[in-house]
Chains A and B, each alone.
Chain A
Amino acid sequence: MYHKEKSIQIKNSASALYNNLSVLRIAPRRLTHFTVVHANMVNMVSASWDGLNYTHRQLQSKEPNVATSTSLIMQAAFCVLPSRDLLVVTSQKGIQMYESDGSIMVYWHALDTPETPTAQAVFARGIAAVYENYICVGVSSGAILVFDVPSKGSNITLSEVLEEHKESITDMASECSGSQECIANLVTADDGGNLCVWKSGEEFQLLNKIPGFDMSCSSVKLWKGTAVAGYGTGQIRLYEAVTGILHAEINAHARWIYSVDIAPFSGLLLSAAEDSLVRVWHMTITPETNSVEVAHLHNECVTDTQICGARFCDGDGYAFAVTGYDLSEIIRYIQS
């Protein structure tokens, strides 16, 4: 179904972090940006579609104009809003937002770090762009910061802090089907496996809380009102977000899942874990009849590699890319 394409070499290896690959397809310029986190820096590669040009850039996490040591980065993700695209980088020190090509930092938000270190780690993790002009970022305390993003310029403001989760945020996702009809448009996940379902607005509204079973949910997506969650046990669960009804449960992987992704136009689902396997599934979701169907389509094994990032490169799922711990390349697969 898929075969391996030429890999893209990156300047350093990927770190063992959840969701450690972000992809932004820029059709008008016929290129795709990829970002991979290595310790305290973000490796960005822009690949032209003809496969001839690769531009590299490296971003470090630090406060602007401060010469202090950089901090470890937890995640980097592209945020696509109606009016603009931004690259958001979260670390132990704070949150940075860049123009999507990584050229200029437009915003910095520092996290409250205690004077003397506490046993509880402090960091930001979990990034999502939410309709209509919000970027949400999770924090290790469980809080979710909601930023209001103007259509251009750097006048980004912190609009709200949502305090519902009690454990560290792991990942979050906004509704990706493009449908405006979905009531819920954000799902957030934490280290206890708990999912919160929200409706965005001037004041975000909590629609539902789906309890976890004390097992971390490391990656989550929202499609056609269905929350697709990957867990540390290697399970994937599909929940109807607003009601919390469990539609499907897959014993998908033998180790901790690090990434799930959905191709919204085709309903393809991608899952990747520390067991070195990437799997492709197909979901059929009919909200009207409340029916969900999941079929397994394909496996790829990245030998001897604990995978830390996997993403479709386009909305149909024609191609996907994979990163692994200690690996200095982005491996690509396309449909045969």
Chain B
Amino acid sequence: MSMRTLPLVFINLGGEMLYILDQRLRAHNTSEDNSEKVMNDIVGTMFSKAFMDELLKPQQLYSHRTMKTVLTRLAHASIMRLNPASMDRLYELMVMAFKNQVFLCLRPKDLLLISYNHMDTIREFVKDTPMAVNQVDETHRKIIEAYSSLSEGELQLLRQTLLTFFQDMHVRVSLFLKDQIQNPNGRFALTTSGPVPHGTDVPGLIRIFDCRGREVRRREFPSGGSYTSSIREGSFELHGNRVIRLGMNMYTVDHPEETHTSRAPSVKADGSPNPLAKEELNLLARLMGSMKTENKPKDESGFRINLFNTDKEEAEFLVQDEQAASELARIAGQFEEEEEEKPEKPSNNKGEELLAMMDDL
């Protein structure tokens, strides 16, 4: 399938992550200094040249486990610490939000507008830090360059690759349920009304032509929906009105319960414990290596953020996760080349870095 999905996946999932973190930081009455620092650190790492260049290389989309690992590392590029259960919950929210956007976008090209919506909001989060803004702008330019020339067919292939990635995920998100974007069974609502995509005509017309191309007959048929003409096209430039709302920040009002998720009944949890393929661990190592992270000893004055309201909820999730975390550590151990027991010294050994990161999970 498409070899160009990774940059868009990280920008959109990363964007959703920042939206949620921003909302939780506010809900916890975190100091403005701390909040700003968290945002700047994560954005700085995510939009760093090294990381983005790595993502822009043509490659397959990898597993949820790899995605989650890299995103955890991104989150931990800041002074904030998320426990594994919180990270799981965060990942589910991020993925379901992005799945909704990809599912509902009117045409494949709108995937770019969704990505630009995320980048616009991220730019707002770090607007007081010129260096971070520059990084976002630079990345935005690279994305425009890489994707503007793709045909609708190629963008649809990209979208289909993303849909395969999200397949069978039906985690219920309380905000979506409340707004009736999602049904109680976890599936998204799809209306047969509203504007048609740019370039599409409102359904309902049959036209017959003669051999010379002249229209000889036209007839209407009931479309079974109530569609309207397409709205104006959004801007694909660095700055501009994107017009579509998918990809904008849903969490702007402070409602703590809105970051709640619950599994739809009889749906399997994400990913049976599959050993990570060697290619995936290589990708992981390259991505970790390209992330500029400051070396902070683990017990510095970081602060913990919790997405759960009760210890009981947290405990339920922790049980599931221990298994996965130990599985990952075991696999990482299989690929490690040498043991280096010097955590203070910056390590060049990618396997060591990987293992150290696994320990953090």
Contacts and interface: CB of A to CB of B under 8 A. Distances in A.
B190 A16 contact: no
B151 A214 contact: yes
Contact of B209 (A16, A38, A248): A248
A168 B156 CA distance: 12
Interface size band for A: 35 or more
A292 B208 contact: yes
Contacts of B227: 254
A175 interface: no
A247 B208 contact: yes
A13 B167 contact: yes
B213 interface: yes
B154 interface: yes
A301 B3 contact: no
Contact of A72 (B1, B159, B187, B225): B1
A92 B157 CA distance: 13
A246 B207 CA distance: 10
Interface stretch (A21-29, A42-50, A232-240): A232-240
A214 B199 CA distance: 11
A255 B209 CA distance: 24
Interface string A269-290: 0000001110000000000001
B58 A306 contact: no
Nearest to B170: A326
Interface stretch (A77-85, A114-122, A128-136, A310-318): A114-122
Interface string B39-70: 00000000000000000011110000000000
B251 interface: no
B156 A123 contact: no
A255 B58 contact: no
A109 to B, nearest CB: 19
A192 B153 contact: yes
Interface string B178-220: 0000010001111010001101111111111101010000010
Contacts of B59: 117
A251 B1 contact: no
A170 interface: yes
B190 A276 contact: yes
A69 B167 contact: no
Contact of A254 (B164, B189, B196, B277): B196
Contact of A234 (B187, B196, B213): B196
Nearest to A92: B1
Contacts of A290: 211
Contacts of B223: 254, 299
B4 interface: yes
Contacts of A233: 197, 199-201
A110 interface: no
A17 B189 CA distance: 20
Contacts of B187: 304, 326
A294 interface: yes
A256 B107 contact: yes
Nearest to A215: B152
Contacts of B164: 15-16, 39, 72
Contacts of A234: 196, 200-201, 203
A196 to B, nearest CB: 16
18 contacts: A69-B277, A121-B2, A121-B3, A216-B152, A232-B152, A233-B200, A247-B208, A249-B207, A251-B201, A251-B203, A252-B203, A254-B203, A255-B197, A256-B107, A276-B190, A296-B221, A296-B222, A299-B223
Interface of B: 1-4, 57-60, 103, 106-108, 151-154, 156-157, 159-160, 163-164, 167-168, 170, 183, 187-190, 192, 196-197, 199-209, 211, 213, 219, 221-225, 227, 277
Given A277-B225, A294-B208, A299-B223, 17 more contacts: A13-B168, A38-B167, A117-B3, A117-B57, A118-B58, A121-B1, A167-B151, A232-B108, A232-B156, A234-B196, A248-B207, A250-B205, A250-B207, A255-B200, A293-B208, A296-B219, A304-B187
